[in-house]
């Protein structure tokens, strides 16, 4: 893939450049220092759930290699590092006593980052729910949201003012719908009503967790949530296709955006899902709790989708045209007559189409809807099957081109008025890519999974230059 958008754009000095990871995907040390299993430990150990039977037991051993990984971040000149905290390290059973060794790990991480001049951006939940809580219903159980607030309070007390930006949840859409509807993610449930309950309890957890952090650290503490807002287009202007897109927008985006930003659920979702649930799990006062002033809205963007009126594509684990693994159940609950269509290429190794201007479109749409709400790209990046070549390097020109074009796409949105504050590459390191195990590599730093040796890829050098010069350089090669 070559670049399709121009080079040369310069970004303002205050624009924040970083990279992102998540606990279960990189830490390893799954049974160390008091950590107990999360739903991903259980899921990945269940035969057939993760490609090649891979697990996060070792991952890339970040737990033991923090110092080395921070040196890499320093070399790249990262200004911020977005990591997630593993709830099962902090409260191994999800409630009650605090595991001090787990807390210490993140306090030490934050201290080392600050010492290295890198701003810590902490996500409280990136999918590793303590298994004990799942045994009691997981996100279908309102108590999980209440316990999340206790956990958030513990971390706020421990980390204090070290954190530049707190993020409550990463991509609650995946937790709810891939976890409880299509079941291709942990805990692997296929029950539409459970998924809708999970939606609400995740939203509630966001509100309760954000409020707990603010109670401890003050009203002005910067809070965010990260959503993987789907950019979906209708295959035609035919009313049925337009309605298909509307259904996806509702269940993929609006069901999180509207409560979090506006304190309401989109009324259409009640009609779309009336055959599944009456939503009586939403209690008086919940929506007021969920709406918390945000410092920024985090956006994760990778590709786009195209839909028409039709039958949802199901299957047995192959990547589907909606960008996710297929299962017997669609993750798009309530979108009963919607068919995702294959997207034209180029594609990444995830089979996701590469469409940088979808990001411009998304940022403009959000900033038009919510002009007072700043945005940050909390994840963007691409998986390819990278290898270290004889010269000891990884010539990942496709990834570099992807980053080049998407960062320019952010710039184009900013030209047209979008208030975007920062950009985080997904991911710093090759890592455990959930149901795809270690097969697909997203890192700008290569990890040899046998030796755990880290090799910065060419894309990381290009990104380091961008951070240093604040200018998008052309991609060579």
Q: Which residues are catalytically annotated?
A: 171, 379
Q: Does 402 bind ligand IFM (CB under 6 A)?
A: no
Place of tokens 């149901």: 435
CA 435-441-446 angle, to 5 degrees, is: 140
Interface residue with ligand IFM among 339, 351, 398, 433 (CB under 6 A) is 433
The distance of closest approach from Cβ of residue 416 to ligand IFM in the complex, given in angstroms and rounded to an integer, is 26
Q: Alpha carbon 391 to chain centroid distance?
A: 33
Interface residue with ligand IFM among 22, 30, 194, 205 (CB under 6 A) is 22
25/141 with CB nearer ligand IFM: 25
Interface residue with ligand IFM among 249, 351, 379, 408 (CB under 6 A) is 379
CA 281-221-104 angle, to 5 degrees, is: 90
Is residue 168 within 8 Å of 210, Cβ to Cβ? Answer: yes
266/320 with CB nearer ligand IFM: 320
Is residue 3 within 8 Å of 37, Cβ to Cβ? Answer: no
The distance of closest approach from Cβ of residue 302 to ligand IFM in the complex, given in angstroms and rounded to an integer, is 7
The distance of closest approach from Cβ of residue 289 to ligand IFM in the complex, given in angstroms and rounded to an integer, is 25
- Residue 444: phi and psi, rounded to 5, are -90, -5
DSSP code of 64?
A: G
The distance of closest approach from Cβ of residue 279 to ligand IFM in the complex, given in angstroms and rounded to an integer, is 27
348/401 with CB nearer ligand IFM: 348
What is the token pair recorded at 188? 């692997």
What is the token pair recorded at 18? 């970083």
CA dist 168 and 219 (Å) reads 15
Q: Hey, which residues between 297 and 356 contact ligand IFM (CB under 6 A)?
A: 300
What is the length of the chain? Answer: 477
145/382 with CB nearer ligand IFM: 382
Written as one string, the DSSP assignment of 223-246 is EEEEE---EEEESSSSHHHHHHHH
Q: Does 398 bind ligand IFM (CB under 6 A)?
A: no
265/424 with CB nearer ligand IFM: 424
Q: Does 426 bind ligand IFM (CB under 6 A)?
A: yes
Q: Hey, which residues between 24 and 83 contact ligand IFM (CB under 6 A)?
A: 25
Is residue 199 within 8 Å of 192, Cβ to Cβ? Answer: no
Residue 241: count other Cβ atoms within 10 Å of its Cβ: 20
Query: What is the per-residue binding string for ligand IFM in 106-145, x denoting contact by CB under 6 A?
Result: ----------------------------------------
The distance of closest approach from Cβ of residue 319 to ligand IFM in the complex, given in angstroms and rounded to an integer, is 11
Place of tokens 């184009």: 412
User: Which residue minimizes CB distance to ligand IFM?
Assistant: 22
Q: Could you list the residues that contact ligand IFM (CB under 6 A)? A: 22, 25, 171, 300, 379, 426, 433, 442
């Amino acid at each position: 893939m070559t670049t399709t958008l121009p080079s040369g754009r310069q970004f303002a000095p205050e624009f924040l450049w970083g990279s992102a990871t998540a606990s279960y995907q990189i830490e390893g040390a799954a049974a160390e220092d008091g950590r107990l299993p999360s739903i991903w430990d259980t899921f990945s150990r269940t035969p057939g759930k993760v490609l090649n039977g891979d697990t996060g037991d070792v991952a890339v051993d970040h737990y033991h290699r923090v110092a080395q990984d921070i040196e890499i971040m320093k070399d790249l000149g990262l200004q911020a590092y977005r990591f997630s905290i593993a709830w099962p390290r902090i409260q191994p059973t999800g409630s009650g006593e605090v595991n001090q060794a787990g807390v210490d790990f993140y306090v030490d991480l934050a201290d080392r980052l600050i010492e290295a001049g890198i701003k810590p951006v902490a996500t409280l939940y990136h999918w590793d729910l303590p298994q004990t809580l799942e045994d009691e219903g997981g996100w279908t159980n309102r108590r999980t949201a209440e316990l999340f607030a206790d956990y958030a309070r513990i971390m706020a007390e421990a980390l204090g003012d070290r954190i530049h930006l707190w993020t409550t949840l990463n991509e609650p859409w995946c937790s709810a719908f891939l976890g409880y509807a299509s079941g291709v993610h942990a805990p692997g449930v296929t029950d539409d009503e459970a998924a809708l309950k999970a939606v609400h309890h995740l939203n509630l957890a966001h509100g309760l967790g954000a409020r707990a952090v603010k109670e401890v650290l003050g009203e002005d503490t910067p809070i965010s949530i990260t959503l993987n807002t789907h950019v979906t287009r209708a295959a035609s202007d035919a009313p049925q296709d337009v309605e298909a897109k509307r259904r996806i927008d509702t269940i993929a985006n609006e069901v999180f955006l509207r409560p979090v930003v506006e304190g309401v659920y989109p009324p259409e979702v009640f009609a779309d899902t009336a055959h599944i649930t009456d939503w009586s799990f939403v209690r008086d006062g919940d929506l007021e709790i969920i709406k918390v002033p945000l410092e920024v809205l985090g956006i994760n963007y990778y590709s786009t989708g195209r839909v028409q009126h039709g039958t949802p594509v199901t299957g047995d684990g192959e990547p589907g045209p909606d960008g996710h693994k297929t299962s017997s159940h669609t993750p798009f609950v309530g979108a009963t007559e919607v068919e995702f269509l294959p997207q034209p290429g180029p594609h990444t190794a995830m089979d996701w189409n590469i469409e940088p201007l979808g990001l411009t479109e998304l940022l403009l749409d959000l900033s038009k809807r919510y002009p007072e709400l700043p945005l940050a790209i909390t994840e963007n990046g691409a998986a390819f099957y990278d290898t270290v070549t004889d010269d000891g390097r990884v010539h990942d020109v496709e990834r570099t081109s992807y980053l080049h074009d998407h960062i320019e796409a952010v710039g184009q949105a900013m030209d047209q008025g979008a208030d975007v504050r920062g950009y985080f590459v997904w991911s710093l390191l090759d890592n455990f890519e959930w149901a795809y195990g270690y097969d697909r590599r997203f890192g700008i730093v290569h990890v040899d999974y046998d030796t755990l040796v880290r090799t910065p890829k060419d894309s990381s050098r290009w990104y380091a230059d961008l951070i240093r010069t604040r200018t998008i350089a052309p991609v060579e090669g």
